[in-house]
Amino acid sequence: MWSFRPCRVLLLPIAVVLALSCGSSTDPSENAWSVTFDSDSAGLLLRGTMQLTVDVRDRQGNKVSDSLASFSSSNAQVAAVDAHGVVTGVGEGTATITARVGKIQATTAVTVSTLDVTSVSIGYRHNCALTSAGRAYCWGFPQDGIDEYGGQRYNRLRYAASYRQPQPVKGDFTFRSIAAGNLHTCALSIAGPAYCWGANDRGLLGNGTTSRSDVPTEVSTDGTCQ
């Protein structure tokens, strides 16, 4: 004669079953969806150093730790880069620096050069120099994360690494003279017009506005004062 014993069936929620069967990733770099450098290009003096940083975001646009990035150089004989993104100018030329986070990457071009300086102007918190080709370079302390001489935007905390060496002034300008002021700079171009850039709360740039500029703006010569 047959006999039956009662039994119990345990039903797991579907979500639990899926979690147990599929598991989850423990690699934080897989959360990265985009990585970008502050700029597509940068200038560096021979034997100089500069800190490169990247902005890493997830699919929702939230910031992910940039410590996940690894760096490499296309030509370490021109620009060598360490694991923290510090680039050293080794030889003249241009090298591509690549930052990788997981399966995504970004690049920036670093040009290493020497300066043939013909004149120097000493300002209050920054200095500027002109090369024999008329190119302007400046270095010193940037105010409020924006430099006074046409370079890139930097956080105050990065000042020590960014501006201990000359940085090229933005724009395709050639000058014959330059004067570094308190929080602004002015220069006379080879073509004739004068240009100023930097702080402008009192109209120091002479362009009819009180808006600061991190690129050289032509000084107004229409005789008006504002």
Answer yes or no: is pLDDT of 85 > 90. Answer: yes
Answer yes or no: is pLDDT of 1 > 80. Answer: no
DSSP helix, strand, coil percent of the chain (3-state; round to 5) = 10, 40, 45
Q: What pLDDT is stored for residue 86 in this prediction? A: 93
Answer yes or no: is pLDDT of 129 > 70. Answer: yes
Q: Which of 78-82, 139-143, 183-187 is the least confident region?
A: 139-143
Q: What pLDDT is stored for residue 10 in this prediction? A: 45
Q: In whole numbers, what is the pLDDT of the chain averaged over residues?
A: 79
189-194: average pLDDT: 94
Side-chain half-sphere exposure of 200, counting CA atoms within 13 A = 24
Give the C-alpha separation, 149 to 168, whole Å: 9
Give the phi and the psi of residue 67 in degrees, each rounded to 5. Answer: -70, -10
Q: What pLDDT is stored for residue 27 in this prediction? A: 63
